[in-house]
Amino acid sequence: MKTPRLKILIAQINTTVGDLEGNRDKIIAALRFAKESHADLVTFPELAINGYPPEDILHKDYFVLDNLNILKTLVSQTKGIAAIIGFVDRDKKKRLYNAAALIVNQKIRAIYHKIHLPNYGVFDERRYFTPGTVPVIMDLGRFSLSVTICEDIWRKDSYVYQRGYRGKASLLVNISASPYHTHKQTERQKLIKNLAVKTRSTVIYHNLVGGQDELVFDGGSMAVNASGRTLGEAKRFMEDFLTIDLGSQKPARLPTPLGHQAEVYQALVLGTHDYIQKNNFKKVLVGLSGGIDSALVACIAADALGPKNVVAVTMPSPYTSQETYQDAKLLAKNLSIQCLKFRIHKIFKQYLTAFKGVFSGHPPDTTEENLQARIRGNVLMALSNKFGHLVLTTGNKSEMATGYCTLYGDMAGGFAVIKDVPKTLIFGLARYRNSLGASPVIPTSILKRPPTAELRRDQTDQDTLPPYSLLDRFLELYVEKDMSIEAAVRRGIPKAIAIKTARMVDRNEYKRRQSPPGIKITPKAFGRDRRMPITNRYRL
């Protein structure tokens, strides 16, 4: 049987939370493009008018009313075309719904309310929305069209998987705002193919793209027919218009799959770019130590914002080696970024002199080490205050997990780019970035040197921490998978290391709570994902 024709444009746009007018303009531009492309139907992501997630802005009545007025404006722009647009709906009892409007030729034909509201991990939708109760299926040309929103297709008890639903819709559209973490796209591809086959529908999966605070939405929208064949897939980590011509014999448009390190790096670049741009900053400051963490952050910042918008700051102390200082300067030169130098020797000496009487009789310890980190934090924040640049912190997930970082020191800043990146992956990302150019931008000596904070003589990270290969494996089990110490030991982690590391993780929640937001790239990140009490006497 010949498939009827229907040309669909998936408008994978980058929306901004609260920017109703800006989001409206993007939607109108996409509608115009869809008409010029002779599309019959154009789809937009979940809560396209509002941006996702709008969080407590939803408690403001006027925000909801403004969003409804924007929807009316958009309805008037749909002459000669059908559109599915995500918005916030409200009933007479002022209950809110995560909704999708099905508009055909300047008339709203149906409104669907999301039935399954996620309330786990980074999601809090039950805090704001009332779940819908009624699926929507309507005719669009020779197709029966069903609209779902994100979680509706992830829940195995969802109505879309029930036997009575099978075959009812020849076209199932899912508008979504699905955040990125490693291997997420593979999960989506498997889910959508299974859904298409089970429902006997062509499935249009439309994902959001862009950064929103800690979250990165990676796009990768796709279409899969009822036999499980992919008809097309949108680009990742960028805006894209994907045309799906049902009934046509055109070959599928499939982007080259991204490797693990490539997709993580692109997520970090997009998340950094959008956080800076959407919050109206122009330039960033990076404390450049000559170590691998700050080197990677500087690369990400330069790629996200352009070299002219990145200012590196070297702050050598009495314990900074000539090698690391020279590496920091060489990296800045390779990236073509401005590099400022502030020697902190005199300031550090003044602190020691001021505390000499009080500290008398107490040997030097981490107090003196942390003083250096806090001096550097003060330097960076002074530059930030004076010039309006945002400070990017350079701590990784391994350090944040164990508290191997200094409050009001290296934790001082506005955005923590690699906060959710384990140290072992930091090395992989640095090598990946070096592979992109004709010659390495990160000096190879940085990659080879044992990690060190250089806050005392002959210091290395492993004086305090377990080997990173063991540490990161334990953190994956204990933090991301919530396994017990005993379970981690059964999986090869030495018991002494497991006990020591678990204690470090547990007692440093107070530090993490005071850290800047940072980009989520793992299945469970500190902050929105993992919400532990600071005052907590339970110990495994």
Q: Which residues does the annotation mark as catalytic?
A: 46, 114, 150
Q: Which residue has the tokens 């959407």?
A: 278
Quote the tokens at residue 48. 């396209």
Contact 343, 370 (CB under 8 A): no
At 6, which helix (H) or strand (E)?
Answer: strand 6-12
Rounded CA gap, 398 and 444, in Å? 22
Cβ atoms of residues 515 and 214 within 8 Å: no
Q: Are 328 and 289 in contact (CB under 8 A)?
A: yes
Collect all residues with Cβ–Cβ distance below 8 Å to 174 and sequence separation of at least 6. Answer: 147, 148, 149, 150, 152, 153, 203, 204, 205, 206
Strand 171-176 relative to strand 202-207: parallel, antiparallel, unpaired?
parallel
For residues 372 and 347, give the distance between their C-alpha atoms in angstroms, rounded to a whole number. 9
Residue 320: count other Cβ atoms within 10 Å of its Cβ.
20
Q: Tell me the C-alpha distance between 369 and 363, whole Å.
A: 12
Amino acid (1-letter code) at residue 392:
L
Of 147, 198, 199, 194, the residue nearest 175 (C-alpha): 147
Which amino acid, residue 195? L
| Edge-to-edge strand ranges of the sheet holding 202-207 | 136-140, 143-149, 171-176, 202-207, 222-224, 230-233
- The whole-angstrom separation of Cα 252 and Cα 172 is 19
Tell me the DSSP string of 34-101: HHHTT-SEEE--TTTTT-S--GGGGG-HHHHHHHHHHHHHHHTT-TT-EEEEEEEEE-TT--EEEEEE
Left, alpha or beta for 453 (phi > 0: left; psi -120 to 50: alpha)? alpha
User: Which residue matches tokens 């669009």?
Assistant: 140
Tokens 């004086």 found at: 463
Residues 6+ apart with CB under 8 A from 460: 450, 451, 452
CB 430 within 8 A of CB 530: no
* Six token digits for residue 505: 């993780």
How far apart are the C-alpha atoms of 221 and 353, rounded to whole Å? Answer: 61
Task: Round to whole Å and give the CA distance between 34 and 43.
Answer: 10
71 vs 74: CA distance, rounded Å: 5
Angle in degrees, CA 78, 84, 90, rounded to 5: 100
